[in-house]
Amino acid sequence: MLYDRRKNAQGQTSKVSELEELSRITGGLAHEIKNPLSIIKVNLKLISEELASRDANPARAARKIDVVRKETDRLEQILEDFLRYIRKTELHPVSVDINQLVTDMADFYSPQAAGHSITLRVSLDSEQLICKADGDMLKQVLLNLFINAQQAMSDGGELMIRTQKNDAKAVIIVSDTGRGIESENLDRIFDAYYSTKLGGSGLGLSTSRKIIEAHNGTIKVDSVPQKGSSFTIQLPLEEK
């Protein structure tokens, strides 16, 4: 009887927690879509006034239409990111060489890094690191971390990606020389729709944590304001 009461209490607590999380996430979504909706509304009014004017300027109206188009694209991306985040993470694990995956992503990202005056440095463990993982999902995590670092280094800097072995874990460390994160924000950095960056979606890091945890791994951040941040991922190595 006591066990049943405890089980019911735990179930109720879990449901309350889930509802609170859902409320927080949907609140974040509402906040995200307000700005583009406001811009669309204002520009549609200006377009209407422009077309009704005796000296209507088609080029000016076309520019405003282009703003509306861009904001609707932005809204679509916000909703796609939201749906991807709340969807259950389904993995398709295979044997993945972590060193090769990091190399592939560094090669993929290097043109964008160069375009933002970011020096990319890669250091790989001498030992092969094989994990049972969804390679595409891990690539998404790394891309999220690269973009996060890029946003933190608006004037350029260094992005360093290292791999190493820690007992039965493969470790990936992504470090930057950006503006860093204030200590009071570190505990919230992986929360959905929490972002300290202008224009940040607030879902990149939370999605990354969700993916890593689905792999039975961990992700953590260390940061020093005005010096940079370092994200450390640990994944279980494939059993031989």
Instruction: List pLDDT tens digits, range 158-180.
Output: 999 999 999 999 999 999 999 99
Q: Which residues pair with 101 in a beta bridge?
A: none
Residue 27's CB is within 10 A of a number of other CB atoms, namely 11
pLDDT of 211 reads: 94
The answer to whether the CB of 231 falls within 8 A of the CB of 171 is: no
Confidence class of residue 71 from pLDDT cuts 50, 70 and 90?
very high
Give the count of beta carbons closer than 10 Å to the beta carbon of residue 107: 11
In tens, the pLDDT along 49-67 reads 988 888 888 899 999 999 9
For the CA atoms of the chain, what is the radius of gyration? 22
> pLDDT tens across 95-123, in order?
999 999 999 999 999 999 999 999 999 99
Distance, in Å, from the CA atom of 132 to the CA atom of 215, rounded to the nearest integer, reads 8
Domains and CATH numbers, the chain: 2-86 (1.10.287), 94-236 (3.30.565.10)
- Sorted by sequence, the CB contacts under 8 Å of residue 55 that are 6+ apart come out as none
Q: How would you class 44 by CB atoms within 10 Å of its CB: exposed for 0-12, middle for 13-18, buried for 19 or more?
A: middle
pLDDT tens-digit series, residues 193-240: 766 554 455 688 888 999 999 999 999 999 999 999 999 999 999 987
How many angstroms separate the CA atoms of 208 and 144, rounded? 7
Determine the 3-state secondary structure of 66 from DSSP.
Answer: helix
The pTM (predicted TM-score) of the whole model is 0.73
Lookup: tokens for 173: 């460390």
Q: Are 164 and 123 in contact (CB under 8 A)?
A: no
Task: To the nearest 10°, report the CA torsion of 164, 167, 171, 173.
Answer: -70
Spacing of C-alpha 172 from chain mean position: 16
Which two tokens mark 106?
């560094």
- Please tell me the chain's helix, strand, coil percentages from 3-state DSSP, rounded to the nearest 5: 55, 20, 25
Give the other-Cβ count within 10 Å of 208's Cβ.
Answer: 23
Average pLDDT over residues 137-147: 95
